[in-house]
Amino acid sequence: MVLNETGARRYCEDARTIEALASALDIGIMIYDRNDTLIAASSQFLDFFEISPDLLQPGARLRDFFNATFDAGARVLGSLNGKARYISREDWIAERIAIHWRERYESVEKLADGRWVRLCKRRMPDGILIATIQDVTERKRKDEELAEVLKKAELVQVILDNLATPVVVKDSELRYVMVNDAFCRIPALHRKEIIGKKAADLVGPELAARFEKIEGDVLRTGIPYEVLEDIHKSDGTMMHVVTRVGRSGTPGNYHVTVSFDDVSALAEGEKVSSDYRRVEEAVPVVLQDVGTKPVPTEPKGRILVLDQDRERSTARVIALKAAGFDAVATGNAREAITLLEAAKSLQLEVGKVEITAEMARLMSGETGSGKHPALKQAIEERIAADRVSRSPAASPSALAARPQGPALSLVASEPSREVAVPDMSANTAPAVSPVVNQGKSDGSTRGRVRILVAEDNDVNQIVFEQILEGIGVDFRIVGNGQEAVAAWGAAAPDLILMDVSMPIMNGLQATRAIRDAEAKVSDRNPHVPIIAVTAHAMTGDRERCLAAGMDDYLSKPVSPEKLEAIIQKWVDGPERLLAAG
């Protein structure tokens, strides 16, 4: 509706009409003429800006209104995030007036007090301006919550799509709400062709009725269902699977989760036939009555194999499946955590974790590892076992005399529950690692760089062992500052890597003791470079280390590149290190 100035004044003459309209719509309303002089305004504007009520009286100027709102904190408008803007009063007013003279303007912006508001402005053809403001804080919060839910749903879908096991999620109406790629390959349909539909849209009526009967019972009672069956895929091949149906969610918002675990290696016993070829193909489906059949033996347990050697892990999974276990392998640390979290959300218990020593070291620092007891215990026991195998007592003859275990550490999440796992050591046991160099001093190796490491953490000691072995230097590792001083006195190394936080005597105290001893007999004890190794990142830590007599600073986590660079810097340059290696 187009209003001329006279008509607008006449229409807005009764301020109560404007106030009632603003109250009914829960918004603030302002109407200005073509000269930016206020014709009428509702009192709701005072809820957003602490200004004088006189500025809402007919005849007030728009510029005066902006001056007052600028001082009341409205200058944050235009920032979109409610933060103060570094803009002058005149520039801000010019910006706002320019917006007022647009034909249409709408934005959602944040006030200084944290509230979100929706600003709408409409300049009529005859110059009349109608402006509104509305509190949309609650709507904004709900939009953000919805965005977070959608983000999580996308993450769940990504996790499901990375599972080799076909998985389906249905709502309380037994409509498909989520399927993964592995399931879509069974009927050879795109996800969009499945989501929102029911079983009768994908399979024959008899099979659909059976599905809905089973899933409906699980949805109603919460009692999970399992059955061994053959699934006919759309390409004509057959899968031997254990179909598991479970209920998840909360009362009033229950969902049914269906997973199909491939047990082709255990194709025995009575099975139900489920045909997932397209309905229009009209392939006859023969169902067997399993009501009187013996319940098939359920798998012995689920095992996650963590091994970076793909060929070895594949062979291990095949062997475990042949022995009656559900097994899956990965060589990626984050993928392993993702798989465990996905299994937990789907109420699929992973009772065992097999992990190589290399993977255990890589995952020991992963924050997500501690959330899964089976994984955490596997890492700890594998690192401990690997450390024992690398100890001086584990000589080659001693190692050869005792039977070697498998390359993977097997840990149960429930210690009281004994699960027999086949001994695959003949296929998976790696070659025995050489004994760690502990300060060699014979003539054949005297040209090699000698490193003394003072570190009290067992995992970090293993990390140092692996890196220093790879670099090709002689080294000795001690567990506290007191032992470091004694080791330095027995045989001065070329370089000392000194952890700052250690028991008995910390790294700073040990460094001072070594420097004091060097000063007393300077001709016999040359200055040994001491490098501080610490995870601390506080202001002044570097200065305290240097003040104690340390020569340089190395932050954790330690990498081969960082460690090799520090050795090259402080031990006769790179030539000696390369010759030693």
β-pair type (167-170, 253-262): antiparallel
Structure tokens that stand for 50 in this block:
């602490």
384 and 415 in a single domain? The answer is yes
Q: Domain range for residue 21?
A: 5-135
> Do 100 and 203 belong to one domain?
no
One domain for residues 216 and 250: yes
Do 474 and 391 share a domain, yes or no? Answer: no
- Residues, the chain, total? 581
- Looking at the structure, do residues 155 and 127 belong to the same domain, yes or no? no
Q: Are residues 388 and 354 in the same domain?
A: yes
Measured distance CA(439)–CA(123) in Å, rounded: 85
Decide: 331 and 356 in contact? Cβ < 8 Å. no
Return d(Cα 526, Cα 571) in angstroms, integer.
Answer: 13
Q: Is residue 287 part of a domain?
A: no
Residues 473, 374 within the same domain: no
Q: What is the pLDDT of residue 468?
A: 87
Nearest C-alpha neighbor of 282 from the set 230, 204, 364, 396: 204
The per-residue DSSP string of 223-272 comes to --EEEEEEEE-TTS-EEEEEEEEEEEEETTEEEEEEEEEE-GGG--S--E
Domain boundary among 135, 159, 182: 135
Domain's final residue, options 135, 157, 184: 135
Residue 411 in any domain: the answer is yes
Query: Cα(455)–Cα(452) distance, rounded to whole angstroms?
Result: 10
Query: How many domains, in total, are found in the chain?
Result: 4
Asked which of 397, 428, 459 is the last residue of a domain, the reply is 428
Q: Do 419 and 459 belong to one domain?
A: no
List average pLDDT for each run of 10 residues in the chain, which is 581 residues long.
52 68 86 88 86 88 88 79 78 85 86 87 88 89 83 76 85 90 88 90 86 91 86 78 87 88 60 52 38 47 82 78 78 77 73 84 71 82 71 42 36 36 37 34 56 87 84 88 88 90 89 89 76 72 86 84 87 51 44
205/198 Cα distance (integer angstroms): 11
Query: 369, 376 in Cβ contact below 8 A?
Result: yes
Sign of CA dihedral 40, 45, 49, 54: positive
Whether residue 14 lies inside any domain: the answer is yes
* Beta carbons within 8 Å of 363's beta carbon, 6+ residues apart: 306, 333, 336, 355, 369, 375, 379
Let me know whether 165 and 220 are in one domain: yes
CATH of residue 491's domain is 3.40.50.2300
Same domain for 243 and 198, yes or no, is: yes
* Environment class of 362 (CB within 10 Å of its CB; exposed 0-12, middle 13-18, buried 19+): buried
CB atoms under 10 Å from CB of 6, counted, come to 9
Q: Residue 517: what are its φ and ψ, rounded to 5°?
A: -65, -40
Structure tokens at 323: 């022995």
The pair phi, psi for residue 81, each rounded to 5°, is -130, 5
**Structural domain contains residue 21:** yes
294 within a domain of the structure (yes/no): no
Strands (E), 440-528: 450-454, 474-478, 495-499
Q: Tell me, what CATH number does 127's domain have?
A: 3.30.450.20
Q: Would you state the pLDDT for residue 143?
A: 84
Q: Are residue 360 and residue 395 in the same domain, yes or no?
A: yes
Amino acid at 34: R
433 in a structural domain: no
In a domain, 76, yes or no: yes
Q: At what angle do helices 62-71 and 89-100 cross, to 10 degrees?
A: 130
User: Do residues 99 and 149 share a domain?
Assistant: no
Measured on CA atoms in the order 295, 300, 306, 311, is the torsion positive or negative? negative
pLDDT at position 175 is 93
Question: What secondary structure does DSSP assign to 322-355, as a single string?
Answer: HTT-EEEEES-HHHHHHHHHHHHHTT----EEEE
Q: Does some domain include residue 485?
A: yes
